[in-house]
Amino acid sequence: MDKIKELWSNSTARKIIILFIGIVILLIISLFFQQNRMEQQMQLKVQFIEQKNMLRDELDDLIDDHDDLLDEYGDLNEQLYEKDSVIQDQIAEIRNLIRTKSDLDEARKKIAALKDISKRYLANIDSLLVLNGVLVLEKDSVVKVNKDINWKNYKLNKKNKKLEEKVSKGAILEVFDAKIETIRYRSTGREFATRYAKKVQKIRTCFSVSANQISDSEIKTIYLQVIDGSGELVLGTNILTTNVADSTYSCTSSAEFEYKNIEMTHCFEWERVQVLSAGAYHVNLIIEGSIAAHLDFKLR
């Protein structure tokens, strides 16, 4: 204690102590501000990434809308192809701004300009549709054909339901509300339903199974058959087979689910191996030696 008093009484020592304390305080303040600066930089970085992903999604939406228009009306006039070339150039430039240069402000401006170009593109299509009566008639005929097909499918579904009602209430599982969804992945990893064959990356199948107290409570296997418009089976990674009555059926994929004698819903996914072709597809779901459901879908 006396030594401290002695040091404090010495003016030079006192100055050194005060200087040391001041340096320590400055270091503490500097560390505090540095930590705040790092936190702010981290928040800005997260916001930048979120804005980048939002711009990517917005650009993907524009591309999908444009693909729909081009697929449906792209053969109307050479002017549309010229405008499509401009749109494709803009898309490539925006992608470059987002992916490599990370210039989001410029990308945002160009997306706004691209929306304006797309509106004019749509206006050109509308004017061509008004002038081109042949296309209108063809469209009407296609709508009529689709209505006829839907009506035939409706009658076929009613017929199938009547046949299913005649099946004995034994151990056979009844599958209903089966649905098919064709899916692609966006650049952000988000799933997105698509009707374009070249973009389909996986097929999701969902179905419901009725309650059946006679059937065994166990792990059940359901087989998926995907058949293209030419009647050929779409192959998966492995060649699968199952028996239906006295015949052997080759299948695209299979999945297992735990059945507990109660009504339940199950979904499974199949990732395509080869790029799918445009056209109509027929799907069969086979369970316990019986074709339990028929589905159809089309890809452009």
pLDDT tens track for 242-276: 999 889 999 999 999 999 999 999 999 999 988 99
Per DSSP, what are the bridge partners of residue 249?
Answer: 242
Residues 6 or more apart whose CB falls under 8 angstroms from that of 171 comprise: 212, 214, 215, 216, 288
Instruction: Kindly state the average pLDDT of the residues 58-72.
Output: 67
C-alpha torsion sign, points 117, 120, 126, 131: negative
Boundary (domain end) residue, out of 109, 130, 151: 130
Co-location of 227 and 285 in the same domain? yes
Residue 267 in domain: yes
What residue ranges in the chain does DSSP mark as E strands?
A: 175-185, 191-193, 202-209, 219-227, 240-244, 247-251, 253-258, 264-271, 279-287, 290-299
Note the pLDDT of residue 26: 76
Q: Of 93, 111, 101, which Cα lies nearest the Cα of 54?
A: 111
Pairing of strands 202-209, 264-271: antiparallel
The number of domains in the chain is 2
On whether both 111 and 211 belong to a single domain, the answer is: no
pTM, two decimals, is 0.48
Q: Which of the residue ranges 37-41, 45-49, 293-297 would you say has the lowest mean pLDDT? A: 45-49
Residues 97, 219 within the same domain:
no
Residue pLDDT, tens place only, 180-201? 999 998 888 888 899 999 999 9
Range of the domain at 47: 11-130
Q: Is the pLDDT of residue 284 over 60?
A: yes
Same domain, 164 and 289: yes
**DSSP secondary structure string for all residues of 160-195:** HHHHHHHS-SSSPPPEEEEEEEEEEE-TTS-EEE--
| Whole-number pLDDT of residue 297 | 94
Query: What is the band of 6 on the pLDDT scale with cuts at 50, 70, 90?
Result: low
Domain-embedded: residue 148: no
| End position of a domain, from candidates 130, 151, 170 | 130
Q: How buried is residue 4: exposed, middle or buried, by Cβ count under 10 Å (0-12/13-18/19+)?
A: exposed
Query: Which residue in this structure is represented by tokens 């019986």?
Result: 290
Q: Is residue 136 part of a domain?
A: no
What pLDDT score does 80 carry? 56
- The pLDDT score that the predictor gives to residue 166 is 44
102 in a structural domain: yes
Mean pLDDT, the chain, whole residue set: 77
Q: Same domain, yes or no, for 193 and 119?
A: no
Write the burial class of residue 30 (CB in 10 Å: 0-12 exposed, 13-18 middle, 19+ buried). exposed
Most confidently predicted of 101-105, 162-166, 212-216: 212-216
